[in-house]
Amino acid sequence: MQTQLAQDTPTTQRRIGGSDGGLAGAATPELNRVVHFLQEISLEIDTSLDPNTPNPHFNMILHLLRSHAEGRMVSPSSMVAASGVPYATGTRKLTEIQDAGLVELRPRTKSGKSFTLHPSAKLLDRFNQLADRLDRIGRRTFGATVEDGDLDDYYFGGSYQPGQATIPPPAVLSQPLKLPGGLRILVHGDPTFMVMQTLKRQFEQMVGTDIHQRAFSIDRLREEALRNAARSKSRYDLIAVDLPWVGEFVKKGVIRPLTDVMDIERLDPSDFHTAGWRAAHWGGVPYGVPSQTTPELMFYRKDWFAAAGLEPPATTDALLKSAAHFHNPSRGKYGVAWNAARGTALGHTFMMTCAAFGQPIIELPEIAGGFDTDALASGEYRPALDTDRALEAADYLMQLMDYSPPDILSMSWYERVRPYAAGTVAMAYGYTLLAPFFELDNTCPAHGNTGYLPHPHGPGGVPIAPVGGYVLCIPANLADDRLPDAAEALVSFTSPAAQKLYVQNGSRTAPRYSVGADPDVRRLSPIFEVVDQMSWRDELQFWPRPPIPQISDIISICGHELHDMLRGIVTPRFALDRLQARTEKILKEKTT
């Protein structure tokens, strides 16, 4: 399966490593506003004063910059058309702009007979400086709100000002990626990655190369990543790694430390949700960049709860009472949907349910706000799956069965959300990336009627939103000559501009605070503000699924042993005892 992954960041230097590897001539929100302002002023002058002479240099530069910021292709003929002068004159003036080093040509085809035009780093830097000067002139002319002495300290259009946090569209890279065969990416087949398929051409123009994306289900994705690691040379430039796999993939040499290939500060780490960024580390070293940070939440029907006079459930007891109230199988209505399918799906559910009761699946030191995962790389683990709190979590799952749809034992990631979207289920556990099923379909009864909560907690737990999602990583066996461009692509794909574009095309994941705070993003869904608030309250946590090397095997065991429990074949205590014994055996084995 071949699809397209959208990417790009404001124009970046093609540089790996150095501390100054930041933005070069970035197409900032401020520059975009100045371009629009100047175009509108020019139009007013041209149409209000007569006689008047067009300024072809100025008109073409504004056209080029605006197209650059909006990711639109510019041809020589469109530049000449924007000049406002006869074709021969416009062609001559375009040559003068090129000779001045303000325009960069890129081949559109392999033959090189046609090409596109892009602003050079020199033009972008100069225009950013002009934007700053224009603001200062405007403030002095039309009345500044601060004293003149403070103007030097004024951050032009800074995102700290109310209403000025809008992230611009992705911009074209200052230099195209040069990867033989194009950029190759291995991803999960979820809505966030798949939504980029429709943007294939736009983003290939932005990076200057073809993009080939292979998408798999979660289990097949892991298998393909491990097969790829056994090859002499990686078939992929970037791979998507589920957060719990990080430790395993580091130990097995699947992924490469980012510190080996790039300056981490280029990623602006403080902008990522803390839990998502920490989950990308192993032994204190970052191995990936959050592409999706998607906590699992409780979706609930606000209209149903309001009509019934019920409060949204904050605890597991409250959830069971609410589920019992709404459960009416004779009318096709059910209380709650969740992951109960055998294997990976149920394994994840049990781990996160244990967390809601305050029990990590391995022994971890307790700290403020949760449990400490900093020492996971030490390799010393003891399972904690037969404790009293784990038994409470198992009993809770058994009680959920009473208020679940009849096909609950085959429900997994998508199946649990579909009946909720269709209006047959009052509540559903679900990742935010699944919210498009009802948020983007105004025919769904759940559309516009959904509230979002952290997991209801048990007596020994606290509100928690277990973090899921993927980090993009560079394979350890990627050929050296592809590393620089792979790192550039990694920066681009995870930039605020790219992640905002994902959201605008249907994604409901936002790994960065800046994206969640963007006013355009906030208008699309309440999820982003809710998740940001959870992050600030320290409710986003990744310890419920600790990324130890053996985690995938443990998840599978949980999903099989507890499925027998849900079917009534074994008791909860018997299932947990078997689970504890099998996990102890796994943790004694060496991961290779």
- Please answer whether residues 296 and 430 qualify as being in contact, where contact means their C-beta atoms are separated by less than 8 angstroms: yes
Q: At what angle do helices 344-356 and 388-400 cross, to 10 degrees?
A: 120
Is residue 591 predicted with pLDDT exceeding 70?
no
**546 and 558 fall within a common domain:** yes
Write the pLDDT tens digit of every residue in 311-342: 999 999 999 999 999 999 999 999 999 999 99
Write the pLDDT tens digit of every residue in 500-524: 999 998 899 989 999 999 999 999 9
Cβ-Cβ contacts under 8 Å for 549 (sequence gap 6 or more): 247, 248, 250, 251, 252, 591
Write the pLDDT tens digit of every residue in 564-586: 999 999 999 999 999 999 999 99
**489 and 377 fall within a common domain:** no
**96 and 130 fall within a common domain:** yes
Length of the chain (residues): 592
**115 and 182 fall within a common domain:** no
What is the DSSP secondary-structure string of 385-451?
Answer: -SSHHHHHHHHHHHHHGGGS-TTGGG--TTTTHHHHHHTSEEEEEEEGGGTHHHHT-TTSTTTT-EE
Cβ-Cβ contacts under 8 Å for 91 (sequence gap 6 or more): 76, 80
Measure Cα distances from 519 to 9, 78, 178, 494, 552 in Å.
19, 32, 35, 19, 38
**329 and 385 fall within a common domain:** yes
**489 and 406 fall within a common domain:** no
Is residue 267 predicted with pLDDT exceeding 90?
yes
Write the pLDDT tens digit of every residue in 62-118: 888 887 766 677 888 888 888 888 989 989 999 999 999 999 887 776 666 778 888
Is 133 contained in some domain?
Answer: yes
Q: Which of 536, 556, 571 is the last residue of a domain?
A: 536
Cβ-Cβ contacts under 8 Å for 240 (sequence gap 6 or more): 185, 186, 187, 188, 193, 221, 291, 470, 471, 472, 473
Domains in the chain, number: 3
> What pLDDT score was predicted for residue 394?
98
Question: 404 falls in which pLDDT band (50, 70, 90)?
Answer: very high
**457 and 488 fall within a common domain:** no
Q: How far apart are CA 28 and CA 204, in angstroms?
A: 21
**544 and 532 fall within a common domain:** no
Instruction: Give yes or no for a cis peptide into 269 (omega within 30° of 0).
Output: no
Structural domain harbouring 325: 294-467+540-588
**411 and 544 fall within a common domain:** yes
The enclosing domain of 409 has a CATH number of 3.40.190.10
Burial 499-515 (b: 16+ CB within 10 A, else e): bbbbbebbbbbbbbbbb
Is residue 6 predicted with pLDDT exceeding 60?
no
Q: What's the mean pLDDT when you consider all of the chain?
A: 86
**447 and 462 fall within a common domain:** yes
Is residue 300 predicted with pLDDT exceeding 60?
yes
**194 and 269 fall within a common domain:** yes
**337 and 440 fall within a common domain:** yes
